[in-house]
Amino acid sequence: MAIIISQRATLWNTKYKMPFAIGAIDCTHFKIKKPLNNSDEYICGKGFYSINVQATCNANELFTSVDVSWPGSVHDSRILKNSSVHNVIKSNDVEAYLLGDEGYGIAPWLMTPFKNPSNPIEALYNSAITKERTIIERCFGQLKQSGFVLHNIAKHLNDIYQYSTDLDSNIENVVFSSDETSGVTCNQIRENGKRKWLPIANMLSDNSN
């Protein structure tokens, strides 16, 4: 696993500037019909029924993980904490990390922007991470566009498919995990993540000079 993570970090650095990054992470909502059961769970912040889909991608705009287990009302950070990606990336031993937006909490394995950059170095860091993490948004856009094309092709070919509203089993089988069980609190994770903020920002600043 360490070899794979190192290879992804190398791939990222051939195209982008964030040192030791291996990819980007985000969630996106896919509209669905109103489920038969527990429908309130599926109403997202924008007021429609959805599945909140989490995905990661690499520097080649290829998806490296996808989680479609969660209803639209669930926050992105909660999905991450209960995903297999979280378990893998937090235990890596090569200092690699994913890039996320401000909706996620910072951690040693997940870099997010400074909330209030106070100097040019922090501003440069924010500019870099904001620019580079948009790759996952492009991937989502390409996915949805392709999905519409495939839908039209299926209709043209009279390919009949059955829509399923049996979505609630996904919630019932979710296994919740917490870093508190290993003796590490959320505050400790955030503080450990913040310790990486400035070293990474300084590396970006040095490389820009």
Inter-residue contact 55 to 85 (CB < 8 Å): no
Inter-residue contact 87 to 177 (CB < 8 Å): yes
Residue 3: what pLDDT? 64
Residue 158: what pLDDT? 79
| Per-residue DSSP letter, 174 | P
Q: Which residue has the tokens 């490296």?
A: 64
Nearest Cα residue to 70 out of 120, 121, 30: 30
Residue 92: what pLDDT? 82
Residue 72: what pLDDT? 97
Q: What angle do CA 96, 101, 107 make, to 5 degrees?
A: 40
Instruction: Please list the ranges in the chain whose pLDDT falls under 70.
Output: 1-3, 160-183
Task: Map out the domains of the chain as residue ranges.
Answer: 2-208
Residue 169: what pLDDT? 45
Q: How far apart are the C-alpha atoms of 32 and 55, rounded to whole Å?
A: 18
Residue 124: what pLDDT? 96
